[in-house]
């Protein structure tokens, strides 16, 4: 019987936090300072853009949601994943991390861009807020 079509999984698809972390590990960055990353996704959870949006100090990073969502809108994203490292190596999200995730989700809803996860990472491990909340 002749095969009519073949289903292939696109390698860029994001299915879970480990998919994001595998992409993060390929990005060169200075882990001694906090880096805030943005992954813009289309409707098929394919990464259409990834970038380090903000760089901070050894214990923090100032964020501007307008910049984050401007980048998402310009890349025609319908979903985003935010991620940042803790230079200390600790994966436990701070209260501020949890608050930022909630505020970003609320802001995204207003413009119909879903914030599907917030990842805290170090060089070897990650913590997914979506999987753990």
CA dihedral 118, 96, 92, 22 (to 10 degrees): 20
pLDDT at 11: 47
| pLDDT score, position 40 | 97
Lateral strand order in the sheet of 114-121: 47-55, 35-41, 79-85, 114-121, 126-128
Q: DSSP state, 122?
A: -
Supply the pLDDT for residue 6: 43
Q: DSSP string of 27-76?
A: S---TTS-EEEEEEE-TT-BEEEEEEEEE--SS-----HHHHHHHHHHTT
Q: What is the pLDDT of residue 108?
A: 97
Per-residue model confidence (pLDDT) at position 120: 98
Q: Which fold has domain 17-132?
A: Cytidine Deaminase; domain 2 (3.40.140)
Local confidence pLDDT in tens for the 133 residues of the chain: 444 544 444 446 898 999 999 999 999 999 999 999 999 999 999 999 999 999 989 888 888 999 999 999 999 999 999 999 999 999 999 999 999 999 999 999 999 999 999 999 999 999 999 999 7
């Amino acid at each position: 019987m002749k095969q009519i079509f073949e289903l292939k999984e696109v390698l860029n698809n994001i299915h879970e936090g480990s998919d994001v972390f595998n992409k993060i590990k390929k990005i060169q960055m200075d882990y001694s300072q906090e880096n805030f990353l943005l992954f813009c996704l289309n409707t098929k959870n394919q990464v259409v853009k990834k970038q380090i949006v903000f760089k901070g100090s050894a214990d923090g990073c100032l964020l501007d949601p307008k910049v984050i969502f401007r980048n998402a809108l310009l890349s025609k994203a319908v979903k985003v994943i935010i991620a940042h490292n803790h230079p200390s190596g600790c994966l436990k999200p701070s209260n501020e991390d949890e608050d930022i995730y909630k505020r970003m989700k609320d802001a995204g809803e207003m413009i119909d861009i879903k914030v599907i996860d917030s990842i805290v990472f170090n060089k070897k491990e990650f913590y997914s807020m979506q999987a753990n909340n």
